[in-house]
Amino acid sequence: MRVKRLVIDTNVLISALLVRTGTPRQVLDRLAEDAATLLFSEETFTELATRLAKPKFDRYRTPQQMDAFLGWLLELGEWIDPAITVEACRDRDDDKFLALALAGDAEALITGDDDLLTLNPFEGVPILTPAEFLRR
């Protein structure tokens, strides 16, 4: 599946940093190869940076690796300020990814979260696991 605009949830992005040979990292590498755009909102990027800063990740990455990873994501990214509110997910904390996908005209939302996957497709936006995305 070749897309130009994509939302990737926080857990997939964290997995991409921690496991450089895993499927989530392959998704990011494909995104970079295709010159696609990774969509962020202030809320989604803050969640990512905040979670990566937790001490439980200290043994998996250095602060320099985290900064380099976040910088790389910013190079791939476009900031969107969703002017819409979505209340569709059973985990309300995940609604921000749906709002971002709609506001940013995303062609797909990549996640491993069952709360989001059960909504596939959401208002025309495919919601896929990293493996499903790579198979397409």
Using a 10 angstrom Cβ sphere, with 0-12 exposed, 13-18 middle and 19 or more buried, the burial of residue 103 is middle
Q: What is the pLDDT along the chain (136 residues), one digit of tens a residue?
A: 678 999 999 999 999 988 889 999 999 999 889 989 999 999 999 999 999 888 888 888 888 888 888 898 888 899 999 998 999 999 899 999 999 999 999 999 999 999 999 999 999 999 999 999 999 8
Query: Which domain, by its residues, includes 14?
Result: 5-135
**pTM here?**
0.92
Looking at residue 1, what is its pLDDT? 63
Among 92, 16, 95, 10, which residue's Cα sits nearest to residue 45?
10
Number of domains in the chain: 1
Q: Tell me, what CATH number does 49's domain have?
A: 3.40.50.1010
